[in-house]
Structure 1
């Protein structure tokens, strides 16, 4: 049996490269060899990195390259939060993986107030994962011709794209011409998968048709008009992944009891902070900290963590009414899935089981819709709690009390 120490020796001597270790040993031994190499080269102790429960072979094949170990995060539970959604209709405990002290406590307080008020409404209003290749053309005239061809031959593009997948459906192709560049923004219904890889593979097949039938030449399969993992106004306007909204009306006495403040004070804090302050800053998100909840649930449930950039593209609205406090969040581009990618890992599978949304839904897409609605309700809880802490001037004391 190949020894991890011997493998580390061979890497140090130049006989092997880091990525070749799985050719010489099983994935777990290869990971141990990389940890030993790190200890020799850096002097770091990697015992904790070696304490992981997932299957090394599976992780190496599906989730990561040059596996060396696992990173552990504390996972807290907020809730339950009652949600009445198009796909999620129950009380849910929200798993949140985070290192930010006071976050789970704050979201938990918001969940308590929402549930006491009868629960949050939530709806996915738009679905579609996008990929936007960029083509080179001779000039604007040729670009316009290519854009028109794409519109007239949508069925041919749809056929080519959907031949690559048994689940994904092409729903739209929108052209943009900029000088001698043509961008085609393909949109797909990817069901319960987040669908980025699905969309990429399908779009590549469609691009082959475009190059064969038009003078356009593909420059890059992603032309950044998608837009993936970067702040972008197009996602805020057109959406990407799932566009989801959640709202709640909390009675005045519940606001005063749970938040120690008034609906009017929370509304003013939201207007001056989230709306006017964000506008002055030129922000793409008009919210207090939606990214906190999105990131924590993403990490807990195996989502693509880099897509928190789009997922936190959120507008929070608050209105003091005679009978209480109305609040809503609109997350324009929440990219989530319940199959594929990191959702296959053991702890992430368990977190999805806690929410009752692991795997493919019936009908297809309903589990991912439910996850999006639950995250939106969690984000609403986080927004309410932080705004109330600011309105009552309790933010710093809460962190101080929790020792953060």
Structure 2
């Protein structure tokens, strides 16, 4: 990159010879980003030196951003190590978390240490599948019924059309929903180690063309919002989307009392009255204390789609007193994660995945994404345990005060 090249791009944009988004067609990615940043600085009267001080070649972000001017840097830390007894991961792991919320890492770290003192947490992915649900228009309910019957009789043909678009994805089922003259078909795919939203969308387009060619239905929208992506939805809480994953642990009574300065009875009551009764009264879709905190921080650290925190944090936390101590679980119904594609290819996010030992495709396929889901669930469990205990011991505000937050 030379100053002359940057100045030339700026001049050509000013003269109307180039548009903002065309700079990469006439220069390397870093030169284009620099020219664009200086244009913005000049027009807005601001200094973007920190934004421009990014630590990777700009072309590494070609697939992730348009009109790049630099990078936003979020502080990244680790919680743990914590022992995970998962179906896809076994042993100690540091949990990478990127956040601007002070005290979050400290709280999750405390939860991790208590979990480890109890021998670690168990985690399992209980269901997986990425969904896309197009909506079709028919003339009346009789045609809707005919379409539903056709789908049930021709699922193999839909599977063949969908899977012809991908070398990895597999169509596992198609579920019809009828609302008047609208028919929604909720396609579910096994996308292996990819989060799979793009894969599911492309495959569903091919299947929808098969539906239109063989029936009287007309495709209105490739996404009919019954998928449901990046919006709170009961269907995701019930049917799942991405990975449905649960983590649990039994904490001995003496550990609860000595390390968390409270009792199993107090934690269980806080969980019932806050997470269950309080959430029900509020009409919440999530019955937890702050699962979104951990999901968001680990998503940012590992290159996941940050907007999918909406459904990724749709979780239920349970706590009960047992003879040997305190049982706590967190069940995340729709955690959409992947270890290949999207933001996972960015350098710092790739390192976050490497820290967990789940970067790239797994053997067997899908095992790395399962392992990532299990690690996120254990992190969420640690966060829930720590916050519930802080509330039970009435130490929440004093903890924030002592950390200066």
TM-score by length of 2: 0.98
SS in 2 for 1:106: helix
Matches within 5 A, 1:338-349: 338-349=339-350
Question: What is the CA–CA distance in structure 2 between the aligned matches of 1:12 and 1:248, rounded to whole Å?
Answer: 61
Report how far residue 58 of structure 1 moved: 2.9
Counterpart of 2:109? 108
SS in 2 for 1:372: helix
Counterpart of 2:96? 95
Residue-by-residue CA offset, 1:318-366 (whole Å, 9 max, x unaligned): 0012221000000000000001111111111111111000011111100
Report how far residue 3 of structure 1 moved: 1.9
Counterpart of 1:50? 52
Question: What is the CA–CA distance in structure 1 between the aligned matches of 2:54 and 2:372, rounded to whole Å?
Answer: 26
Question: What is the CA–CA distance in structure 2 between the aligned matches of 1:78 and 1:58, rounded to whole Å?
Answer: 28
Report how far residue 39 of structure 1 moved: 0.6
Question: What is the CA–CA distance in structure 1 between the aligned matches of 2:332 and 2:272, rounded to whole Å?
Answer: 18
Report how far residue 67 of structure 1 moved: 1.1
Counterpart of 1:350? 351
Report how far residue 25 of structure 1 moved: 1.2
Question: What is the CA–CA distance in structure 1 between the aligned matches of 2:170 and 2:56, rounded to whole Å?
Answer: 32
Question: What is the CA–CA distance in structure 2 between the aligned matches of 1:169 and 1:55, rounded to whole Å?
Answer: 34
Report how far residue 377 of structure 1 moved: 0.5
Residue-by-residue CA offset, 1:269-299 (whole Å, 9 max, x unaligned): 1011000000000000000000000000000
SS in 1 for 2:33: helix
SS in 2 for 1:257: helix
Is this contact kept in 2: 1:93–1:355, CA < 8 A? Answer: yes
SS in 2 for 1:21: helix
SS in 2 for 1:400: helix
What are structure 2's unaligned runs of at least 5 residues? none
Is this contact kept in 2: 1:127–1:241, CA < 8 A? Answer: yes
Counterpart of 2:279? 278
Is this contact kept in 2: 1:5–1:36, CA < 8 A? Answer: no
Counterpart of 1:157? 158
TM-score by length of 1: 0.98
Residue-by-residue CA offset, 1:370-393 (whole Å, 9 max, x unaligned): 000011000000000000011111
RMSD: 0.9
Counterpart of 1:291? 292
Counterpart of 2:395? 394
Report how far residue 5 of structure 1 moved: 2.6
Question: What is the CA–CA distance in structure 1 between the aligned matches of 2:320 and 2:383, rounded to whole Å?
Answer: 17
Question: What is the CA–CA distance in structure 1 between the aligned matches of 2:56 and 2:147, rounded to whole Å?
Answer: 48
Aligned residue pair count: 403
